Amino acid sequence: MESSVGKWVLTDKAGKVLCHIDLLNEPSPRLEEAKAIRLSKDCSANVKKTKIDAWQIAEIQLVLVGGEDWVYTMTPDKVGFVSDDAKFHLKPEGK
């Protein structure tokens, strides 16, 4: 989990930046076994509405957790993580 901590960029399939995300190494204020997330102010409306506020690693997948029990899993790829439907990529900032 430690290697996932840091600054990340969420993009769509075409590579358009949707949000800059900080995966923090501090406990989530809402969920017991998760870590906190900080989203940039310029996130797209679709990302904002998910109210992502926590993350955790479950087996090999990165799990993003938001309001109203919203959960999104991403699987590791060569650069970072890719959503199960391949519509979204999360890669370290600067890569």
For 38, residues 6+ apart whose C-beta sits below 8 A from its C-beta are: 21, 22, 24
CA proximity to 62, closest of 94, 26, 29, 88: 88
Confidence of residue 37 (pLDDT cuts 50, 70, 90): very high
pTM listed for this prediction? 0.89
pLDDT over 70 at 1, yes or no:
no
CA distance 67 to 91: 23
| Percent of the chain topping pLDDT 70 | 98
pLDDT at 67: 82
Give the model's pLDDT for residue 2: 62
- At 54-74, the pLDDT tens digits run 999 999 999 999 987 788 899
CA angle 77–25–53, rounded 5-degree value = 80
State the pLDDT confidence band at 75, using cuts at 50, 70 and 90.
very high
Residue 11 in contact with residue 19, Cβ under 8 Å?
no
Residue 7 has a pLDDT of 96
